[in-house]
Amino acid sequence: MSNKYYVTTAIYYTNAPPHIGHAYEIIAADVIARFHRLLGEDVFFLTGTDEHGIKVEKTAAKQGKSPQAFVDEISERFQTTWRDVLNVDYSRFVRTTEPDHYQVVQAMWNMLMEKGDIYKSSYTGLYCSGCETFCLPKDLTPEGLCPNHLTAPEPVEEENYFFRLSAYKTKLIDYYEAHPDFIQPLFRRNEVINQLDTLEDISVSRAKRSVGWGIPVPQDPDQVVYVWIDALSNYLTGIGWGKDSAVFEKFWPCDVHVIGKDILRFHAIYWPAMLMAAGLPLPETLLVHGFINVAETKISKSLGNVISPQDLMARFELENADPIRYYMMTSTGFGQDGNYTDDEFKNKVNADLANNLGNLLNRTLNMVIKYCDGEVLAVGAEKNNLLSGEDLAQIQTHYEGFRFNEAAQVIMEGVDRANKYVHASEPWTLHKEGKTTELERVLYNTLEALRQLSILLMPLVPTLSQQIWEQLGYTQRITQMRWADILDSPLPAGQKIQLGSPILPRLDSEIVGAGKKR
Ligand code: MSP
């Protein structure tokens, strides 16, 4: 089995700062990346920003800024939100305004041109600048609006370059048939197959006079590359296509592109066709997620319901973003639309993390301090059955199959069992009755369960896992652990635990909604 893993997110448009819908996607990719690192694989995790286009040009002009200055600011917001707020550990952040990316896009363009798959023709159509694509009249709402943005697409008449997408219909169908796992979840695959009935060539450039902010078409200064050849090629730029062949050869093809349902068509149809034309292998998997709504309503600037990760941090006075990560990944099955409400967030986080997990840690460590002088005593320890080999196998399969909510459920059942075990074994009675060996065994088994649970939870809640790890008395980082350590590296006898403050205070019931105070 290959020991590398390449995971990407979509690259985010820089016309507005990140919100919790974007966060959902990148958290999922981060969980996948962290899980594969835990398996000992060499992971490359790419994310970035998609910075060209008419929307950026217009918004920048409205704010009296140059497009470059404008995208610099927004791209920075994405980077700091992902890295510093959400603890997303990406390998590279690619920007479509980087010189490296210009070269990749122009090289890709030249390859498609040489293959005879790009040609020039005049075009009249309806363009949605929200989707950055032409719309077919049949896809519009009865009022003639774009179904994604509920805005009227603009009529456009231009000489453009076209990509011969229609020539790839049969090859695409053959590919989907030969690779049934290419599009996940499965129901998304059928959506794509249905779209192939009306496969037309696509416009891949715009006249520079109508859109100035883009990568110039090689050998034609009047045109800019627009927009999917530019955007999709980021997945090649990120791992050094044409520049660092060792990295590229190692990581391509991509193992999983994590994308939202709205951009499935571009990834399942345009992207494979482009790669086929360029003679490059196709990605293994497109992992398609649903949309996060807020109180059952689509997140939208015009509705004023946009929530950023920073808003949530402030609203609940969080010290780290693990509650957000945990809630996002576990409250809905991957692939389905999810819904955010303050109450559901608070209830889920309090039940699973503050009460179930936090209490287990706190009461166990307090007893170790009280009864064992804060030392891990393995005297008389027996094999800990709180998490069986079967549980571990199940959790692994769920993580591998992108069923994070189910992985978390099996983990939380382990936490539950450990809590019940403590309750039923009554260490306080064992202490009172002087049954020292038995007492030490119960506490050891519980500490050992906590050690295992902290590793299992690491992809989802890396900060909390590290905190549990430190309280168990470890000095090295928990990220150095590998999956095999869950069973093979039990807590060493004699280790001193380090009781700290509770890893997660209960979220306050008074804080329900922006603006309310404790
Ligand atoms: N720039 C293009 C993607 C190019 S990929 C080669 C784009 N950008 S986007 O900023 O509009 O969206 C980026 C990702 O965020 C997409 O996968 C999109 O589905 C996702 N989401 C945007 N809003 C979302 C929610 N409300 N919920 C979940 N994901 C959402 O499309």
Would you say residue 331 lies in a domain? no
Residues with a CB atom less than 6 Å from ligand 1: 10-13, 21-22, 24-25, 50, 231-232, 234, 259-260, 262-263, 291-292, 299
Q: Do residues 286 and 366 both lie within one domain?
A: no
- The atom of ligand 1 lying closest to the CA of 290 is 28
- 355 C-alpha vs ligand 1 centroid, how far in Å? 34
Which run of H or E residues covers position 13? strand 12-13
Q: Do residues 269 and 390 both lie within one domain?
A: no
Q: Do residues 304 and 396 both lie within one domain?
A: no
Nearest CA to ligand 1 atom 5: 10
What are the pLDDT digits (tens) for 457-476?
999 999 999 999 999 999 99
Peptide bond into 227 cis (omega under 30): yes
Nearest CA to ligand 1 atom 26: 21
Distance between CA atoms of residues 118 and 98, nearest Å: 24
Q: Do residues 430 and 355 both lie within one domain?
A: yes
Active-site choice (4, 120, 171, 301)? 301
CA atoms within 13 A on the CB side of 207: 10
- The atom of ligand 1 lying closest to the CA of 24 is 28
Q: Are residues 284 and 5 in contact, defined by beta-carbon separation less than 8 angstroms? A: no
User: Is 145 in a helix, a strand, or coil?
Assistant: coil
Q: Do residues 287 and 350 both lie within one domain?
A: no
What is residue 206's predicted lDDT score, i.e. its pLDDT?
92
- The atom of ligand 1 lying closest to the CA of 50 is 1
Is 146 one of the annotated active-site residues of the chain?
yes
Q: Do residues 85 and 234 both lie within one domain?
A: yes
Structure tokens that stand for 25 in this block = 């996607």
Nearest CA to ligand 1 atom 24: 21
Is 301 one of the annotated active-site residues of the chain?
yes
Distance between CA atoms of residues 165 and 270, nearest Å: 7
Give the count of beta carbons closer than 10 Å to the beta carbon of residue 473: 21
Would you say residue 317 lies in a domain? no
Q: Do residues 349 and 455 both lie within one domain?
A: yes
Is 432 one of the annotated active-site residues of the chain?
no
Cα 201 to the chain's mean position, in Å?
A: 31
- 405 C-alpha vs ligand 1 centroid, how far in Å? 21
The last residue of a domain, from among 310, 332, 358: 310
Would you say residue 320 lies in a domain? no
Residues of the chain predicted below pLDDT 50: 514-518
Nearest CA to ligand 1 atom 23: 21
Give the dihedral of Cα atoms 515, 21, 309, 23; nearest 10 deg. 170
Q: Do residues 345 and 304 both lie within one domain?
A: no
Distance between CA atoms of residues 309 and 83, nearest Å: 12
Q: Do residues 381 and 282 both lie within one domain?
A: no
Give the count of beta carbons closer than 10 Å to the beta carbon of residue 40: 11
Strands 215-217 and 220-225: antiparallel
The last residue of a domain, from among 310, 327, 361: 310
- Note down the domain range covering 181: 4-310
Q: Do residues 196 and 126 both lie within one domain?
A: yes
What are the pLDDT digits (tens) for 280-308?
999 999 999 999 999 899 998 888 999 99
Select from 12, 46, 105, 324 the residue to mutate for testing ligand 1; criterion: most ligand atoms less than 8 Å from CB. 12
Q: What values do phi and psi take at 13, rounded to 5?
A: -65, 145
What is residue 377's predicted lDDT score, i.e. its pLDDT?
87
The last residue of a domain, from among 292, 310, 328: 310
At a CB cut-off of 8 Å and minimum separation 6, what does 428 contact? 367
Is 254 one of the annotated active-site residues of the chain?
no
Peptide bond into 185 cis (omega under 30): yes
Active-site choice (36, 131, 254, 398)? 131
Of 363, 349, 322, the closest CA to residue 447 belongs to: 363
Burial of 322 (0-12, 13-18, 19+ CB in 10 A): buried
Active-site choice (36, 128, 135, 346)? 128
Active-site choice (55, 149, 179, 348)? 149
Would you say residue 319 lies in a domain? no
CATH of the domain at 99: 3.40.50.620
- 234 C-alpha vs ligand 1 centroid, how far in Å? 15
- The atom of ligand 1 lying closest to the CA of 267 is 6
Q: Do residues 229 and 121 both lie within one domain?
A: yes
Supply the pTM of this predicted model: 0.94
What is residue 133's predicted lDDT score, i.e. its pLDDT?
80
Would you say residue 332 lies in a domain? no
Is 131 one of the annotated active-site residues of the chain?
yes
What are the pLDDT digits (tens) for 225-264?
988 999 999 999 999 999 999 999 999 999 999 999 999 9
What is residue 514's predicted lDDT score, i.e. its pLDDT?
41
- 337 C-alpha vs ligand 1 centroid, how far in Å? 13
Q: Are residues 494 and 473 in contact, defined by beta-carbon separation less than 8 angstroms? A: no
Domain count, the chain: 2
- 291 C-alpha vs ligand 1 centroid, how far in Å? 9
What is residue 211's predicted lDDT score, i.e. its pLDDT?
87
Q: Do residues 164 and 283 both lie within one domain?
A: yes
What is residue 382's predicted lDDT score, i.e. its pLDDT?
67
Burial of 28 (0-12, 13-18, 19+ CB in 10 A): buried
Active-site choice (298, 348, 431, 435)? 298
- 9 C-alpha vs ligand 1 centroid, how far in Å? 9
Distance between CA atoms of residues 319 and 323, nearest Å: 10
Would you say residue 318 lies in a domain? no
Would you say residue 111 lies in a domain? yes
Would you say residue 325 lies in a domain? no
What DSSP string runs through 152-220? PPEEEEEEEEEE-GGGGHHHHHHHHHH-TTSEESHHHHHHHHHHGGG---EE-EEETTT--SSEEETTE
Active-site choice (36, 52, 101, 146)? 146
- 493 C-alpha vs ligand 1 centroid, how far in Å? 49
Peptide bond into 283 cis (omega under 30): no
- The atom of ligand 1 lying closest to the CA of 260 is 19
Of 62, 350, 331, 55, the closest CA to residue 206 belongs to: 55
What's the full length of the chain, in residues? 518
- 30 C-alpha vs ligand 1 centroid, how far in Å? 16
List C-alpha distances in Å: 190 to 177, 196, 486: 11, 10, 39
Amino acid, res. 122: S
CATH of the domain at 447: 1.10.730.10
